[in-house]
Chains A and B, each alone.
Chain A
Amino acid sequence: MSGIYLHIPFCKQACHYCNFHFSTNLDRESAVIDAICREIQMRKDFLPTKKIETLYLGGGTPSVISEESLKNLIAELSEVYDLSSLREFTLEANPDDITVENLEMWKEVGVNRFSLGVQSFFDEELEYMNRAHSSSQSYKSIDLIRKARFANFSIDLIYGGHLTSSGMMLMNIHEAVQLKIPHLSIYGMTVEEKTALHSFIQTGKMDPIPETKQAEQFSLVMEQMAEDGYEQYEISNYCKSKKYALHNTNYWKGASYVGFGPSAHSFNGEMRAWNISDNNAYVKAIDGGASYSKEERLSDKDKYNEYIMTGLRTKWGVNRAIVTNEFAAFADTFEAGLAQQLESKCIEEKEESFVLTQTGKLIADNVISELFAT
């Protein structure tokens, strides 16, 4: 299984909480797309295979780029890779970009799944986040996606923001359930550095978000989603009828992927690489034949730690046999940490794997680091 990620570093406006790499200056679109096309050629030998199963366009907001740009990118990819057995082609989109015309065009290039940035069904929350869309646009976009016969899509929701009460959060989930959304990503509002939200808190314009509120709402989300019949297959991801996000699931299962575009990451089983995250510097480096990415070769310890970290975050958990066979050097570390976390009921055994309990999920980072090798 191998996947491709394309990073489209443009947005109409900046959300207050977002620290992903993007630019609101769309004038540079063609220059950046040209550079990405060239990178596709330059990196063509990165993956151990040419056969691609998943394709993911993220950002930024990939739904803002033109038809021409999108087609150029897909054409470039088709030249290098075998996309004939593509199982999932996801496009991240904002509700305000979903139109009948766009949907037709996306279907034409092969998109078969959307990840829709709904975030909340309350307008005051959308305004607080500085989102470009309204809640009515969200309802409309979901309706249009259905009408265009896209069966598979996901929406993002955010809990634990300054305005979000537990009631509002449950209402958001209720709306999603009513709309029969097949897949949801539900994230806690995270105050990342170098975001507007961070500076509001630093300068005292807003209070820090209390940990108890986040904990309470995360617990409620997990309980409510279970009650509504969704499977929590990763810390922040829920779906019905096993409609797992294949591309993302591959990240957690250690599959290889190549990422193109500013700030995109790649992994081929042995090393991880990451591109420059500045649009202009990226274009300049690609044009001038200069280095545009950094890389790190993974040690056995790194691989073990990544296995623990990504595995424990999912419902598939970590497996003793895999640790014993593939990471024998760290088996003692694993067993010591495991025993302690079983005792404190943060981890439980399920179908020959070890997975986080509800308690464990709330403090997943703490639990994971207990099993890490140093």
Chain B
Amino acid sequence: MEFIRNFSVIAHIDHGKSTLSDRLLEHTKTISERDMTNQALDDMDIERERGITIKSHAIQLYYNAKDGNKYTFNLIDTPGHVDFSYEVSRSIAACEGVLLLVDASQGIQAQTISNLYLALEHDLEIIPVLNKVDMESAMIEEVSDQIIDLIGCELEDIVHASGKTGFGVENILEEIVKKIPAPKGDTEAPLQALIFDSVFNSFRGVIAYFRILNGVINKGDAVRFVNTGKEYHADEIGVLQLDQIPKKKLSAGNVGYIITGIKQSKEIKVGDTITRVDNPCAEAIDGFENVKPMVFAGLYPIENEDFEDLRESLEKLQLNDASLVYEPESSIALGFGFRCGFLGMLHLEIIQERLSREFDQEVITTVPNVSYKAGTKKGEKLEINTPNDLPDMTILDYVEEPYIKAQIITKPEYIGSIMTLCLDKRGTLGKQTYLTPERIELTFELPLAEIVFDFYDKLKSISKGYASFDYVPIDYRKSDLVKLDIKLNGEPVDALSSLVHRGKADSFGRKICKRLKELLPRQQFMIAIQAAIGAKIIARETISALRKDVTSKCYGGDITRKRKLLEKQKKGKKKMRSIGTVQVPQKAFLEVLKLNEN
């Protein structure tokens, strides 16, 4: 145990975490240069392209340190986005130390800070690393000051590195040996292992990654997952290098994997505790949570007959993404589809993109909403995941909506406009802290629903990109919620209904109508677009009928070209959904949510 070091890397998107991880793998010869694809730890195409890590990963490295000893390092890579903060917290709980990686040209960002707080809560040793020091735009002194202010270290504690050139990698490895404590734990105690991630393998089923806090696990043990209460047979255990290396036995302090023949990811809960059936531990490891989806939206196949295919694709996605939940629902406008729950908006986008890439399935997504709690006058308690679930106003007693605590880090010159934005989003200001004279941290409490729509984009544009944002859910609070319906020539389009705060309904309704006016093609007749709360119309736009759409010349040479043009026009129409007599292009359902005011 003395020669084991368990650590993870905390960094903001683009600060070079994956590249630096690659350099660590190279330097320790865990991976040969020949096998190196960029970002070896990011398995999914989508992760490599977006440069973010969606799932956690873990890998074991061996390092011959200058003190003459050979160390085993377990590098636990964490997801880099706010939607996955619970997974991050479990990964951090599996470590004794973290590398705090900061881009020398960009400085500390909100996400870095919230993850850093998680690490501090777990009393982890922090090794500050200033990355990309070779870049011309590097502000080494300024960013060093930020780091010192934030974690209270000394200037000489900060390791300078460049993931690109490999500069500083040796120093980082030495610091890990010297500063991060070896794991503690009692190999004689009953088994207590923390599951911090799981992956799905189509041949082997679900593979859970764990960190053993106490005790020993052997191949063939009968094990119990404490929180789910389920028991399994440890078919295979081992450690994670670039491939899985099976072992007979793993003991306290180690990181490894277990295969038990579980077929579905949702059976394994990240944060759960593995123990042995014959000698169980007295209690589960702290911090387990049943992760609940925060954002809901309907996903519908473009062609109704693809419904079963979509179900299969969602089933397969759920195998390796337990945080995705779904159940069938139907819409008058869109036919049969699924109401899906996501961890956040990025998670929604990722699922959409994976459906398209991995399953060649294009879907229509309805207006997303958060999950509300409602009570009726009869005292029933309801969970509202779709606008149609909202009880009639006459029997509705109250609605509660989820609130978050948001951290925004920015430059002082943008405070004014960011405050205006957050107050406009029904936020309340918590505290303001100057991290350095040039960086300020603002804390707000905001309804989550306000973050779902056009918050990131606005924040980005008003701060010219100099604001970073992170949040944690805090609680549910009373809210004045109404259901906003959209009608086309009098026909309600259920797929465009949404739940909004009463104070926001008018402006939201106007924006949706305006946006639809841009998105719907003109037709042979006039189209009225209306936003309504109950019977009351609160906004209206009109699309005039097509006036002239005719080719003047159609002679011998024009026939082929013209035919192809009109065929294309017809194909476009086929991709539309009919709402009454009004044709709505599929993209309108997606694009209508991009409500930028300019």
Contacts and interface: CB of A to CB of B under 8 A. Distances in A.
A236 B550 CA distance: 10
A235 B554 contact: yes
A235 B569 contact: no
A305 B563 contact: yes
Interface string A322-359: 00000000000000000000001010000000000000
A362 interface: yes
Contact of B552 (A190, A306, A310, A344): A190
Interface string A288-305: 000000001000001001
A214 B570 contact: no
Nearest to A252: B554
Contacts of B560: 265, 272, 274, 296
A252 B556 CA distance: 8
Contact of A251 (B549, B555, B567, B574): B555
B557 A265 contact: yes
A344 B524 contact: yes
Nearest to A234: B554
Given A211-B548, A365-B551, A309 B562 contact: yes
B268 to A, nearest CB: 46
Contact of A366 (B546, B553, B559, B563): B546
A252 B553 CA distance: 12
Interface stretch (A71-79, A135-143, A256-264): A256-264
B552 A248 contact: no
A224 interface: no
Given A265-B560, A309-B563, A361 B571 contact: no
Contact of B559 (A272, A369, A372): A272
Interface string A257-283: 101000111010000101000000000
B559 A235 contact: no
B464 interface: no
A76 B118 CA distance: 90
Contacts of B557: 259, 263-265, 274
A155 interface: no
Contacts of B332: none
B556 A369 contact: no
A259 B559 CA distance: 14
Contact of A364 (B547, B551, B559, B573): B551
Contacts of A263: 557
B563 A257 contact: no
B567 A364 contact: no
A187 interface: yes
A186 to B, nearest CB: 9
B contact residues, range: 20 to 34
A372 B566 contact: yes
B548 A215 contact: yes
A370 interface: yes
A362 B547 contact: yes
A369 B554 contact: no
Contact of B566 (A218, A264, A272, A305): A305
B58 to A, nearest CB: 51
Given A218-B548, A361-B550, A344 B525 contact: yes
B549 A364 contact: yes
B175 to A, nearest CB: 60
Contact of B547 (A211, A235, A251, A257): A211
A370 B547 contact: no
Most buried by A among B525, B547, B569: B547
21 contacts: A187-B553, A188-B550, A188-B552, A211-B548, A218-B550, A236-B553, A251-B554, A251-B555, A251-B556, A252-B554, A265-B557, A296-B560, A310-B559, A344-B525, A363-B547, A364-B549, A364-B550, A366-B549, A369-B569, A369-B570, A374-B571
Interface of A: 5, 187-188, 190, 211-212, 214-215, 218, 235-236, 248, 251-252, 257, 259, 263-265, 267, 272, 274, 296, 302, 305-306, 309-310, 313, 344, 346, 361-370, 372, 374
| Minimum-distance CB pairs A-B, first 10 | A215-B548, A215-B547, A187-B552, A364-B550, A265-B557, A372-B570, A369-B570, A369-B566, A369-B569, A363-B549
Interface of B: 524-525, 546-557, 559-560, 562-563, 565-567, 569-571, 573-574
Given A214-B548, A305-B563, A363-B546, 10 more contacts: A214-B547, A265-B560, A272-B559, A346-B524, A362-B547, A366-B549, A369-B569, A369-B570, A374-B567, A374-B574
